[in-house]
Amino acid sequence: MSQQQQQFNTSRNVFVITNGDSLVGYALAYRCLEAMEKREEGPEISGHKLRILCRSRSGFGLSRLEKMGAEIMEVNYKDEDKMHHCMKDVMCVTMIPEFSSDREKEAECLIKAAKNQHVEHVSMMSWIGVDRIHKGDASQQGSEFRNLEQICRIEKMVKEEFSGEKHCIVRFPMLYQLFYYLAPQLEGDNCLCLPVEKNKKFTSLDLNDVVEGVYRLAKKQRERFAGRQIELQFKKQVYEFTCPKALNGEEMAREIGEGLGRHDLKFQHVSENDMKKQLEHIKKDGRFKERPDQRGDFKKGRDGFWAFPINKYIHESKINTMMEWWHLANKGELDMHSDELRHILDREPHSLKKYFEENRDQFKRFK
């Protein structure tokens, strides 16, 4: 890296995480701030700031991140002037697409502003399987995978506007933490209910591992900016994070049951309509209004306050996107495996059983 480029980079001392009022955005922001507090970062990060973009501060616990040093900015992602202001002095952006009907337009506005303000690098959080929605009957694509199609087009935008080493896309699957939304059934009815046929296998992951993996990728990226050599596994443009082994519903019920100390947990295939009703019910459940106060531990897979999926995260667009993902699972497109996360973490990602063992007390609260 030239001296001129290094001087240019030192004037850009802001890192941005979008969609801070989402489960992944909040957890990732907390992991970065925790590292800054504990001085886990190298000298190349000193003097840098974290800016978190959100639609709304209210009810998401963002003031807790602000106390740790984050700059919180409420934004309308379609406001081009506001987006240009948000990208001022920014070196890197981690973009988490919105769960909204306008996510494509919002992402386009943000990407253009980043390009205009000469942001060095854009990373995007995406979904495992978005590259598989075009398999099969193309005539059905328009209605069946509308939300995943949008994510796919946002990926394309990122690749085109920040080509080569200026971008990175991380695809991840359904998160173990979403089982909290099913906890009343797990604990009350002794049943794991999912809209997936019992013989269909799909991959899922611990949010703690996803966030730890993304944090490590970002740290290596900053080392590269500082002129240091990094290993090949940190130089890819697309990563697919998966668990060690895809499981079907019955295998999941067995692992969850063993993790919770119960060996009679059953799997039940339910309709999408029943699943939607369950999520709508959780939106009104007071137990999901506030974050529990646990500190947690990313590396052990023990959930802290930042990993709990509060009911404000449940939007219609999020529910619809999840249903499309279950469609993919039922088509057999999510029975997949990659070692990329294991190489980045330098250990196996947490198994479903291990995750439930570590967080057993959290789930017991829903009895």
Domain-by-domain residue ranges, the chain?
Answer: 14-365
Residue pLDDT, tens place only, 130-166: 999 976 544 444 578 999 999 999 999 999 999 999 9
Reported as a pLDDT band with limits 50, 70 and 90, residue 185 is: confident
Task: Give the mean pLDDT of the chain.
Answer: 90
Q: Residues 205, 19: contact at Cβ < 8 Å? A: no
Task: Calculate mean pLDDT across residues 184-196.
Answer: 91
Task: Calculate mean pLDDT across residues 71-81.
Answer: 96
Q: What is the model's pLDDT at position 359?
A: 95
Q: Which CATH class is domain 14-365?
A: alpha beta
Measured torsion, CA atoms of residues 6, 12, 15, 16, in degrees rounded to the nearest 10: -140
Instruction: Locate 183 and state its tokens.
Output: 């906890």
Measured over the CA atoms of residue 275, residue 276, residue 281 and residue 284, the dihedral's sign is positive
3-state SS class at 169: strand
Q: What is the model's pLDDT at position 41?
A: 62
Reported as a pLDDT band with limits 50, 70 and 90, residue 47 is: low
Residue pLDDT, tens place only, 92-116: 999 999 998 899 999 999 999 999 9
Measured torsion, CA atoms of residues 35, 39, 42, 46, in degrees rounded to the nearest 10: 100
Q: What is the model's pLDDT at position 320?
A: 92
What residues contact 48, with CB distance under 8 A and at least 6 apart?
Answer: 13, 14, 15, 36, 91
Q: What is the model's pLDDT at position 262?
A: 87
Q: What is the model's pLDDT at position 86?
A: 96
Buried b (16+ CB within 10 A) or exposed e, 16-35: bbbbbbbbbbbbbbbbbbbb
